[in-house]
Amino acid sequence: MPAESISPSSPHVAPPAARRTADALNRAVPVNDDYSEDIHYDDPSTPIHFCMDYFDTLIGHEINIHWHTDFEFAFMLRGACDYHLHGTSNTIRLQQGDGVFVNSKMLHSADHPTPGAVMSCLTVSPLFFSGQPVGTIYLDHVLPVASKPFAGLKLTAERDAAILREIRALTAVGRHDPTRALDYMAHMAALWKELLRTLSARDIPEAPSVEQRREQRMRVMLVFIQQHYGEPIDLNDIAASASVSRTECYRLFKTHTGSSPVDYLLSYRLRQAAAKLASDDDNITRVARICGFANASYFGKRFREHFMLSPGAYRQQYDGRDPSASSAVRGI
């Protein structure tokens, strides 16, 4: 599929009315024992997952900081955005036609999109080729990438045309095609071969072990907020969840999110509240309470500061609309 066009009939490009609902995306993100996001596959025998991110429909027009054990390939179908590989100094400006590879377990996010920006994402399990962490393909060609301490890399049409071509081919495979598993395998093998060539040809800086440990602690604290944002938690609770000091907690949040832990918690609560207002019928006082605000007046004040609308006015934007077209939250 050409970078400059988006076809609603494409099997993985949903028209606006068929986008996932805010309620579905607002559910607690399932996590594994290592605090990584648990991604659902349509067919577990071919562990690959596709999604479309219409930035105009996302709360704050952003994909919040998150991670997963899967590798991620993102492709900018329309417009542009900033793509962040956290724990590094890498902020990548993705233009239409550009892509990015994100390594396993790396924190990442995206924001500052142009109006109408759309990004296609595919995530693929490290066990895609073998089904289990054994065998020549996994040990020789997949594990070395997953265990390599680097966040990812930008993919451009001029330099990485072969990789981007395979990404587009994968997203174009019909979900109901009887040979889709073979198509996925063929295109994924071609994509991975090109990725290995690219990684061997480029001088890609690796993160020191101390930064890897800090990123793991950051993951733990983000999941703690995601799981407990509706409770009366504070800086002490967030720091304690990862067994770090208040000072280290503050430093990690400033490094990875640009915000203090308390400001990030407030922003997270407000984003969750916005998604609920757009998709639920609960009254505003109840929405405030379940999102961690003990006082509805304080909630209204902070909501107006963040979204430039009162909670009631924000909800009115979605009254009478198909709930599947509501705003959504992406990421942790």
Report pLDDT for 329.
Answer: 58
Using one digit for the tens of pLDDT, what is the confidence trace for 296-305? 999 999 999 9
| Cα gap 59→70, rounded to integer Å | 24
281's CB contacts (< 8 A; 6+ apart) are none
Report pLDDT for 306.
Answer: 92
One domain for residues 284 and 227: yes
pLDDT at 134 over 90: no
Using one digit for the tens of pLDDT, what is the confidence trace for 52-69? 999 998 888 898 888 888
One domain for residues 125 and 247: no
% of the chain with per-residue pLDDT over 70: 82
Report pLDDT for 216.
Answer: 84
Does residue 3 lie in a domain region? Answer: no
Residue 238 lies in domain: 209-330
Residue 47's pLDDT band (cuts 50, 70, 90):
very high
Residue 184's pLDDT band (cuts 50, 70, 90):
very high
Domain boundary among 133, 168, 201: 201
| Cα gap 46→70, rounded to integer Å | 13
Report pLDDT for 13.
Answer: 36
One domain for residues 127 and 217: no
- Number of domains making up the chain: 2
One domain for residues 129 and 276: no
Report pLDDT for 320.
Answer: 54
One domain for residues 85 and 138: yes
One domain for residues 257 and 287: yes
pTM: 0.75
Report pLDDT for 237.
Answer: 97
Q: What is the CATH number of the domain that holds 101?
A: 2.60.120.10
Report pLDDT for 25.
Answer: 36
Using one digit for the tens of pLDDT, what is the confidence trace for 65-106? 888 889 999 999 999 999 998 766 678 999 999 999 999 988
Q: Which residue has the higher pLDDT, 247 or 9?
A: 247
Domain boundary among 164, 181, 201: 201
Rounded to an integer, the average pLDDT of 5-32 is 38
Does residue 213 lie in a domain region? Answer: yes
pLDDT at 50 over 50: yes
Q: What is the CATH number of the domain that holds 264?
A: 1.10.10.60
| Cα gap 28→228, rounded to integer Å | 10
pLDDT at 327 over 60: no
One domain for residues 172 and 245: no
Does residue 10 lie in a domain region? Answer: no
Domain boundary among 169, 201, 233: 201
Instruction: Give 175-218 as a 3 state SS string.
Output: CCCCCHHHHHHHHHHHHHHHHHHHHHHCCCCCCCHHHHHHHHHH
Using one digit for the tens of pLDDT, what is the confidence trace for 249-305? 999 999 888 899 999 999 999 999 999 998 888 999 999 999 999 999 999 999 999
